[in-house]
A and B are shown apart, each in its own frame.
Chain A
Amino acid sequence: MLRLDHVTKTYRTGSFGSKRITAVNDVTFDVEPGQVLSLIGESGSGKTTIGRMILRLTPLSAGTISFDGTDVSTLRRHGLKDYYRGVQGVFQDPFSSYNPIFRIDRIFSMIRSGYFPHEDGRAWRSKLDASLEAVGLTPGDVLGKFPHQLSGGQLQRLLVARALLLEIRILVADEIISMLDASTRIDVLNLLGDLKARGLGIVFITHDLSLGNYISDRTVILRRGAIVEMGATEKVFGDPRHPYTKMLLASVPHLHERWSGDAVERHSQAADDADASGKVAELVEVADDHLAAVG
């Protein structure tokens, strides 16, 4: 449904753009309906850039992103608007996603004026109510309020409700729960799980491995813009092959197990060594639906 093919993003910096920074390096993967794909990486891994490129907020430098076979980068105004009917995004900071001087209803009225201009008041209202209920919100609790009057969890859910109004098929969720409280995080995450069951494809971007492990069917591990390991989640987490993946898993603080000795340093060193050649290693199939850059 959504396919990324050798997608690359480079930035020019330095005087007269003499230097180049590669934020995303030759990334290829696809997202199927009813599937959650996690993009896991630390800061600087390029995961947010990939999300933005999927949403056409940042242009690609090379490669193609196609949705249902159509190359997304060729879309202009009308085609782009159609694209957004099928693909939407939710970002990390709920309070930054709303214009603070307007009420939250504005995000819905923008969708209405842009995509449903001829819908009459009552039909729209019932559509809106259905969307809100689908994300676990009571219309009376949230409509007519300003962003600062609601909690982060409610704001994020409202953004998902907005996306649902359009009957999207792919949702790009970029660190959507990292700024929420621990006790509300899991509920928003469960919401994504429910939407997946209804056929939505989700690109779940996070730095938190436990969240990725909880919710996703397939996982992509990114390091400095390149994929180091990808495949079915239980395989990537259960049988990590690349030293970087091993290092990440060893660094995660667990709740019933203390950090063990020098595992992190060992794997970190191995990852750096693998990286020393400067070239991006090839992804090889190490098992069914499990690839790692150990070539």
Chain B
Amino acid sequence: MALAVDDLKVYYRTLAGDVRALDGVTFSIADGEIMGLAGESGCGKSTLGKSLIRLDTRMRYVGGSITVDGDELPIWDDERANDFRFRRVSIVPQYAMSALNPTRKIGRMIEEVLKSRGVAFEQVEPELHRRLELVGLPESVLGLFPIELSGGMKQRTVMVLSTLLDPSVLIADEITSALDVSTQKAVAEMLVEFRNRGFVKSMIVITHDLSVLYQMADSILVMYAGKLAEKAPSDTIISSPRHPYTKMLISSLPEVGVRFAEKRLTGIAGRPPSLLDPPPGCRFRDRCPLASERCLEEPPFVEIAEGHQVACWEVAA
């Protein structure tokens, strides 16, 4: 088990109270698995990604546990969690292109990051060169400033850097969102390649774009309003989703070939509930066409078929 998360709760502190951004999520990722984490804004996917790496000052760990390769990852203890960062759990942040210090040459920046982790640059240098070549970057890139690289090149540089020490879990946070469609494909395929070659053991790819996940992920976990809705292999999620939210979400996505005049797609009316004071029971209740009295009680996230879990009373029945 590369990663196991058990009943994780992380809230945001605000003046008005606690925003229950991540309200008890449980799932696991096997070795070598690329899991897509999908959902819309406010569902908690970014919070999940961030809390695995570092809780920022507004976030408050409330409960639950995380184990990486069997070892507990103490996210509430910033110092102890530091042993995991970069070595065992790493992140490719959103807007990676602006994650590079503009006043440092690439090589120098990599050296500094490694030094802060207690790794000598010379030790990993040959591997670094190998990987740069793999992603199609010339060795000379180490001597350039970020401003001299194109967006795609910067993205690849950050990917190489984040995976340099072969982490067990890589979190890719909305890395394809700001990219052109052709670069998006290249980056997605590159990540899969990294997994295939063993540079990373398993990956969580966070995005709102289900179609990209279909292309690159083995399984997809759909979140809604801080809770898990459905988890299944990519093919299953896309072709036969069971949770009402997943079904409605997928049917609202226009694919090339679908035209307004022929088939009018519909969205999901309403908005996700406020996480300051979430309603009891299933959080999708207000917008769900299948909602009933039973939904006032929160549905458990149960397995309905091999590798397919859903949190819905209607489906589990």
Contacts and interface: CB of A to CB of B under 8 A. Distances in A.
Please say whether the chains A and B touch (CB closer than 8 A): yes
Interface of A: 42-43, 151, 181-187, 189-190, 193, 207-211, 213-215, 233-234, 237, 247-249, 251-256, 258-259, 264, 268
Interface string B286-302: 00000000000000000
B116 interface: no
Max chain B Cβ within 10 angstroms of own Cβ: one of A213, A247, A248 = A213
Contacts of A247: 182
11 contacts: A42-B180, A42-B181, A181-B41, A182-B252, A209-B256, A253-B209, A253-B215, A255-B255, A256-B255, A259-B215, A264-B182
Contacts of B238: 255-256
Nearest to B181: A251
Nearest to B215: A253
Contacts of A186: 252-254, 265-267
B260 A211 contact: no
Contacts of A151: 271
Contact of B259 (A184, A214, A259, A268): A214
Given A183-B248, A264-B182, A255 B210 contact: yes
Max chain B Cβ within 10 angstroms of own Cβ: one of A210, A211, A255, A258 = A255
B181 A207 contact: yes
B256 A185 contact: no
A141 B171 CA distance: 38
Contacts of A214: 254, 258-260, 265
Main secondary structure of the interface of A (DSSP, over half): helix
B215 A258 contact: yes
A259 B182 contact: no
Contacts of B103: none
A41 to B, nearest CB: 9
Contact of B255 (A185, A210, A258): A210
A46 to B, nearest CB: 14
A237 B259 CA distance: 11
Interface of B: 40-41, 151, 180-182, 184-185, 188-189, 208-212, 214-215, 238-239, 248-250, 252-260, 264-269, 271
B260 A255 contact: no
A210 B254 contact: yes
A254 B269 CA distance: 25
A174 to B, nearest CB: 16
Contact of A255 (B211, B266, B271): B211
Contacts of A249: 256
Nearest to B257: A213
What are the nearest 9 A-B pairs in CB distance?
A42-B180, A181-B40, A253-B211, A214-B254, A183-B268, A187-B267, A186-B267, A251-B182, A251-B181
Given A181-B41, A184-B268, A210-B256, 7 more contacts: A182-B210, A187-B266, A190-B266, A190-B267, A210-B254, A247-B182, A254-B256
A252 B151 CA distance: 19
B208 A182 contact: yes
A67 to B, nearest CB: 26
Nearest to B189: A259
Contacts of B239: 256
Contacts of B256: 209-210, 213, 237, 249, 252, 254
Contacts of B40: 181-183
Given A183-B268, A215-B260, A253 B208 contact: no
Contacts of B214: 253-256, 258
B250 A42 contact: no
Contacts of B210: 182, 255
A199 B113 CA distance: 58
A186 B266 CA distance: 6
A109 B151 CA distance: 41
Nearest to A249: B256
Contacts of A258: 214-215
B182 A42 contact: yes
Contacts of B184: 251, 253
Contacts of A183: 40, 248-249, 252, 267-268
A253 B185 contact: yes
Contacts of A252: 181, 211, 256
B187 to A, nearest CB: 11
A184 B269 CA distance: 8
Contacts of B254: 186, 189, 210-211, 213-214
A291 to B, nearest CB: 20
Contacts of B189: 259
A190 B264 contact: yes
A189 B259 CA distance: 11
Contacts of B250: 255
Contact of B260 (A43, A187, A190): A190
A15 to B, nearest CB: 17
Nearest to B177: A178
